């Protein structure tokens, strides 16, 4: 992985994590760094889930990969909310 791949990975993670935070109502509690972490973890979770359902080609920096990461990030935030018992804060 070269530096541009790493930067693209961080940008895709930030976009997916930020979108998931907006949808799940956690954007007030987390900053950019946590958005990136949630997005990257979401990419791993989303990639696993989509591959289980037969979706291939979830690599690279494109809309499909960001969608997969976003979906995984929403699942991750939903599980965290379920486990921690926290409710959505009003925006």
Reply yes or no on whether the pLDDT at 48 is more than 90.
no
44 within 8 A of 9, measured Cβ to Cβ = no
Structure tokens at 14: 């930030």
57 within 8 A of 64, measured Cβ to Cβ = yes
pLDDT in tens, 59-75: 667 888 888 889 999 99
- Across the chain, what does the average pLDDT equal? 80
- Among residues 82, 48, 46, 57, the alpha carbon closest in space to that of 38 is found at 46
- Report domain extents, the chain: 3-84
- pTM (2 d.p.): 0.78
Integer Cα distance of 12 and 64 in angstroms: 11
């Amino acid at each position: 992985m070269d530096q541009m791949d790493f930067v693209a990975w961080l940008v895709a993670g930030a976009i997916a994590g930020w979108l998931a935070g907006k949808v799940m109502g956690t954007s007030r509690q987390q900053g950019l760094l946590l958005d990136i972490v949630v997005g990257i973890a979401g990419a791993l979770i989303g990639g696993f889930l989509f591959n289980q359902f037969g979706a291939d080609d979830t690599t690279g920096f494109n809309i499909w990969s960001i969608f997969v990461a976003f979906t995984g990030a929403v699942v991750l935030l939903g599980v965290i909310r379920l486990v921690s018992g926290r409710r959505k804060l009003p925006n």
